[in-house]
């Protein structure tokens, strides 16, 4: 298993995964567009939580660098960027820095430009997905789509649902999927379902509209989906 993990992103997902990985004794490097801007930002995040600088103050063992630094530093990479910024982030990171690595893709192609609830970007629905686009942009990496169907607290603590939810994995390379599943197990996932190649990302991303409606109905993000069989 990789010892150094590069997280592309500094938002609530990157922070939540970062905290958990530091607790599991991984070396963690987070990547951002501009280090100085990210550290200087004092605004609360979109959920009313503290800015990245506050998280970094509480987690001084995490390294903050550019997207390129994070992609280079990690032997396993976690893609935690905004859906609309993901492809630019890959370009900034340099696709050559992904060669031979497992890339766990947690992103969702959501468009918030018309307010709440967001909608799926049509370009990445039904016959194509952001996961497949990511795989195409970093062809020498092995992309595994997973974790995008739950709230970030549930990603790293599935037991907070009060049950044993199912997590899907989809990707073209079986060794990369094994590496991703090992990480899921460390987070506490017991029910993991391999749904095949990266085209499985289509259905996983299209789960988001029902995730959002369920969140609204429960008024709480601590839930998961279960495949009963």
Q: How far is the CB of 196 from ligand NAP (least distance, A)?
A: 21
Minimum CB distance to ligand NAP smaller for 102 or for 151: 151
Q: Of 215, 201, 6, 192, give the one whose Cα is nearest residue 109.
A: 201
Q: How far is the CB of 170 from ligand NAP (least distance, A)?
A: 15
Residue 116, C-beta contacts closer than 8 angstroms, at least 6 positions apart: none
CA geometry: angle 130, 147, 99, nearest 5 deg: 60
Write out the H or E segment, with its range, that includes residue 218: helix 208-218
Q: How far is the CB of 179 from ligand NAP (least distance, A)?
A: 20
Minimum CB distance to ligand NAP smaller for 81 or for 97: 81
Minimum CB distance to ligand NAP smaller for 12 or for 62: 12
- Contacts with ligand NAP by CB under 6 A lie at 9-14, 32-33, 38, 80-83, 85, 88-89, 106-108, 110, 148, 151-152
Please state, in angstroms and rounded to a whole number, the distance separating the CA atoms of residues 186 and 167. Answer: 13
Q: How far is the CB of 68 from ligand NAP (least distance, A)?
A: 12
Dihedral angle computed from the Cα positions of residues 204, 81, 69 and 198, in that order, rounded to the nearest 10 degrees:
20
Please state, in angstroms and rounded to a whole number, the distance separating the CA atoms of residues 32 and 69. Answer: 9
Taking CB atoms, the residue at the shortest distance from ligand NAP is 85
Minimum CB distance to ligand NAP smaller for 175 or for 213: 213
Minimum CB distance to ligand NAP smaller for 10 or for 161: 10
CA distances, 40 to each of 53, 198, 200 (Å): 7, 37, 39
Q: How far is the CB of 192 from ligand NAP (least distance, A)?
A: 17
């Amino acid at each position: 298993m990789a010892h150094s993990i590069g997280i592309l992103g500094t938002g609530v997902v990157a922070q939540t995964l970062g905290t958990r990985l530091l607790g599991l004794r991984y070396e963690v490097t987070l990547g951002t567009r501009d280090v100085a801007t990210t550290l200087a930002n004092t605004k609360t995040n979109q959920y009313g939580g503290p800015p990245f600088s506050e998280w970094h103050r509480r987690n001084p063992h995490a390294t903050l660098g550019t997207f390129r630094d994070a992609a280079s530093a990690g032997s396993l990479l976690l893609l935690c960027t905004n859906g609309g910024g993901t492809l630019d982030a890959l370009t900034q990171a340099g696709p050559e820095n992904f060669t031979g690595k497992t890339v766990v893709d947690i992103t969702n192609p959501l468009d918030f430009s018309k307010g709440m609830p967001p909608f799926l970007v049509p370009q990445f629905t039904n016959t194509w997905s952001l996961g497949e686009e990511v795989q195409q942009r970093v062809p020498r990496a092995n992309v595994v789509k997973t974790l995008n169907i739950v709230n970030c607290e549930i990603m790293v603590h599935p037991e907070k649902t009060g049950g044993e939810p199912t997590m899907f994995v989809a990707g073209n390379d079986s060794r990369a999927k094994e590496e991703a599943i090992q990480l899921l197990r460390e987070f506490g996932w017991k029910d993991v379902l391999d749904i095949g190649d990266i085209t499985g990302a289509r259905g996983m991303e299209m789960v988001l509209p029902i995730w959002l409606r369920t969140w609204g109905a429960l008024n709480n993000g601590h839930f998961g989906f279960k495949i009963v069989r």
